[in-house]
């Protein structure tokens, strides 16, 4: 079962449009039993984001908003719409969703989603993004272990144009507060395992386990997402179209309230998730290659083989001289002095033989080599003869039609007839005698 796709926005929401009531940034907060944290978190996030967007709009930065738009942006109602906070709660027994709902009158940018039925951290994030309206999609834990101050640097990076910004414990300014040896090893071990199974995905960021990041909507729009367990970032890296990536250091804080939901199951899910993405990567590669091959073959079949046709034409031209020479030798009084018809028939047949040999050795050499042996050679020759014979008949019909019915000059009519019959001869010999 697929969790679903995040739809692209109908219109690309530009920053300048934000003050016309469009959302720039949607921050998802997945929660499960975080009733004690949610109020403080919403308060801090709101203060921080209000301040951030106010500052952005106040600054006289022409790249950010045009002057006229700045004037109208003084309207605080519009500014409020710059971002939205979406709490996605999995029907927590401690009624986190209820606490959050009660906050809504005080925080106009807050939205609450209470999920009943579906469960799990990663899918909660996807569902949140599906309901989101922003151009930049973010996620932050609901227990204040991710310091909200980092958001400003992350937003700056996104507004600079990267597709993904990850808050990382493993770059300058990052770390963990006081994790024991075992926990550090477990965390690093998981990362190493990820590098072994899925190097192209896990190796792209220093902290692939991070649940604190932002991604441009267009980078994941319409990619079917089907995450498992906790690590939504690897799903984004594995399935999205992520080009430029930035990282911002942060220190993973200790939990003040509530408790972690991590159990051994999350480790199992992590490994299964890696394997799922790996097999998907392989299948996509194979499918791509197959698609390419089919496309190439089709292209080859549909393309008119101009080079071959040119060779065929030259061979045909040589046939005229062979025909002439034989015809002279047989019919001329100084040599054999045979009858006209007998001479012509033999001359024509020798010319056909000449053309056949040149075509078999040159024009259609590659195809002839695939049909080896005397029997097949004779078969090709007989077919070539029949097609050319029919060509002569066609030549007569066209010549007559053009000359008698359409009143075309007889030389021009003959030229047209020869052109058409050459194409006829070429095409049917290609398809039937040498068979592509
Ligand atoms: N909706 C929903 N459903 N939320 C959930 C669920 C769930 O099934 N399980 C956990 N959450 C929420 C928690 O309420 C919390 O807000 C957040 O997801 C993280 O859960 P924790 O249980 O606190 O996880 P953690 O702190 O041990 O693990 C974190 O490890 C990474 C660093 O190694 C992850 O959550 C990452 O986000 C973090 O960066
Ligand atoms: Mn936590």
**pLDDT (0 to 100) of residue 240:** 94
Task: Establish whether residue 286 lines the binding site of ligand 1, counting it when its CB lies within 6 angstroms of any ligand atom.
Answer: no
**Least confident span in 1-5, 194-198, 243-247:** 1-5
- CA 141 to ligand 1: nearest atom: 16
221-259 confidence digits (pLDDT tens): 989 898 898 999 999 999 999 999 999 999 999 999 999
Mean pLDDT of 192-218: 95
pLDDT band at 62 (very low <50, low <70, confident <90, very high): very low
pLDDT at 66 over 60: no
- Does ligand 1 lie within 6 Å of residue 434's CB atom? no
Confidence of residue 80 (pLDDT cuts 50, 70, 90): low
Of 215, 241, 222, 218, which Cα lies nearest the Cα of 162? Answer: 215
Rounded CA gap, 363 and 356, in Å?
10
* Ligand closest to the CA atom of residue 250: 1
Ion ligand 2 residues within 5 Å by Cβ: 143, 145
- Cα(248) to centroid(ligand 2), Å: 19
pLDDT winner (highest mean) among 175-179, 215-219, 284-288: 215-219
Determine contact, residues 327/347, Cβ cutoff 8 Å: yes
Ligand 1: does its nearest atom lie under 6 Å from the Cβ of 120?
A: yes
Residue 403's Cβ-side half-sphere holds a number of Cα atoms within 13 Å equal to 13
Ligand 2 geometric centre to CA of 192 (Å)? 22
pLDDT level of residue 284 (50, 70, 90 thresholds): confident
Q: What is the pLDDT of residues 367-381, one digit of tens each?
A: 999 988 999 999 999
The helix or strand, by DSSP H or E, that contains position 337, with its residue range, turns out to be none
What rounded mean pLDDT belongs to the chain? Answer: 89
Least confident of 19-28, 169-178, 332-341: 19-28
| Burial class, 112, CB count within 10 angstroms (exposed 0-12 / middle 13-18 / buried 19+) | buried
pLDDT greater than 60 at residue 260: yes
Residues 6+ apart with CB under 8 A from 33: 92, 93, 94, 96, 258, 259, 261
pLDDT confidence bin for 1, thresholds 50/70/90 = very low
Q: Which ligand is nearest to the CA of 123?
A: 1
First to last CA, the chain: 44
- pLDDT band for 4, please (50, 70, 90 cuts): confident
Q: Which atom of ligand 1 is nearest to the CA of 145?
A: 26
pLDDT of residue 281: 81
Q: Is the CB of 145 under 6 A from ligand 1?
A: yes
In this structure, of 37-51, 277-291, 415-429, the range with the lowest mean pLDDT score is 277-291
**Does position 211 have pLDDT exceeding 70, yes or no?**
yes
The torsion of the CA quartet 396, 398, 404, 405, rounded to 10 degrees, works out to: 150
Give per-residue pLDDT as tens, 394-405. 999 999 999 999
Nearest CA to ligand 1 atom 24: 260
Q: Does residue 32's CB lie within 6 angstroms of at least one atom of ligand 1?
A: yes
Entry pTM: 0.67
Q: Is the pLDDT of residue 10 over 80?
A: no
- pLDDT for 79 equals 54
Which ligand has its closest atom nearest to the C-alpha of 210? 1
CA distances from 43 to 23, 109, 118 (A): 19, 11, 28
Work out the percent of the chain whose per-residue pLDDT is above 70. Answer: 91
User: What's 81's DSSP letter?
Assistant: G
Q: Given the structure tokens 């984004």, which residue do they identify?
A: 236
The protein residue whose alpha carbon is closest to atom 6 in ligand 1 is 121
Q: Which of these ranges, 29-38, 251-260, 315-324, 332-341, has the smallest mean pLDDT?
A: 332-341
The β-bridge partners of 213 are 139, 166
ipTM over 0.85: yes
- C-alpha 141 to ligand 1 mean position (Å): 6
Compute the distance from residue 29 Cα to the ligand 1 centre, in Å.
Answer: 10
Question: How high is the pLDDT of residue 84?
Answer: 95
Laid out side by side, the sheet with 110-114 consists of: 110-114, 83-89, 25-31, 136-139, 213-216, 164-168, 245-249
Q: Which residues contact 159 (CB under 8 A, 6 or more apart)?
A: 15, 56
Query: By the 8 A CB rule, do 215 and 163 touch?
Result: yes
Whether 71 has a pLDDT exceeding 50, the answer reads no
pLDDT band at 2 (very low <50, low <70, confident <90, very high): low
Q: Which atom of ligand 1 lies closest to the CA of 90?
A: 1
Residue 64 has pLDDT above 60, yes or no: no
Residue 245's φ and ψ, nearest 5 degrees, are -125, 140
| pLDDT per residue as tens digits for the range 110-146 | 999 999 988 999 999 999 999 999 999 999 999 999 9
What gap in Å lies between CA 159 and CA 163, rounded to an integer? Answer: 10
Mean pLDDT (whole number) for 201-215: 96
């Amino acid at each position: 079962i697929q969790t679903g796709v995040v739809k692209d926005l109908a219109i690309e929401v530009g920053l300048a449009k934000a003050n016309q009531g469009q959302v720039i940034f949607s921050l998802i907060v997945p929660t499960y039993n975080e009733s004690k944290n949610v109020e403080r978190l919403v308060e801090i996030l709101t203060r921080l984001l209000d301040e951030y967007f106010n500052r952005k709009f106040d600054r006289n930065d022409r790249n950010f908003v045009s002057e006229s738009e700045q004037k109208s942006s003084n309207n605080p109602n519009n500014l409020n719409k710059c971002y939205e906070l979406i709490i996605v709660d999995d029907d927590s027994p401690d009624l986190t969703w209820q606490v959050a709902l009660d906050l809504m009158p005080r925080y106009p940018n807050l939205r609450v989603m209470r999920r009943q039925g579906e469960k799990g951290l990663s899918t909660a994030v996807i569902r949140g993004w599906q309901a989101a309206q922003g151009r930049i999609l973010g996620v932050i834990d609901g227990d204040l272990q991710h310091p909200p101050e980092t958001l400003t640097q992350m937003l700056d990076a996104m507004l600079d144009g990267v597709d993904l910004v990850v808050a990382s414990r493993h770059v300058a300014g990052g770390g963990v507060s006081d994790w024991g040896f075992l926990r550090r090893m477990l965390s690093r071990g998981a990362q190493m395992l990820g590098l072994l199974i899925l190097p192209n995905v896990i190796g792209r960021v220093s902290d692939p386990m991070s649940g604190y990041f932002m991604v441009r909507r267009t980078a994941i729009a319409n990619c079917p997402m089907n995450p498992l367990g906790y690590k939504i970032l690897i799903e984004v890296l594995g399935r999205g179209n992520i080009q430029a990536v930035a990282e911002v250091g942060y220190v993973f804080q200790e939990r003040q309230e509530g408790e972690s939901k991590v159990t051994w199951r999350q480790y199992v899910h992590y490994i299964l998730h890696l394997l799922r993405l790996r097999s998907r990567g392989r299948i996509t590669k194979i499918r791509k290659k197959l698609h390419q091959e089919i496309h190439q073959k089709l292209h080859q079949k549909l393309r008119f083989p101009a080079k071959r046709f040119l060779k065929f034409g030259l061979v045909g031209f040589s046939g005229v001289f062979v025909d002439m020479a034989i015809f002279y030798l047989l019919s001329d009084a100084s040599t054999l002095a045979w009858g006209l018809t007998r001479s012509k028939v033999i001359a024509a047949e020798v010319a056909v033989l000449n053309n056949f040999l040149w075509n078999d050795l040159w024009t259609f050499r590659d195809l002839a080599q695939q049909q080896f042996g005397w029997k097949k050679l004779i078969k090709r020759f007989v077919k070539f003869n029949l097609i050319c014979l029919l060509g002569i008949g066609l030549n007569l019909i066209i010549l007559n039609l053009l000359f008698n019915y359409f009143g075309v000059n007889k030389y021009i009519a003959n030229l047209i007839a020869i052109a058409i019959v050459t194409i006829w001869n070429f095409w049917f010999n290609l398809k039937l005698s040498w068979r592509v």
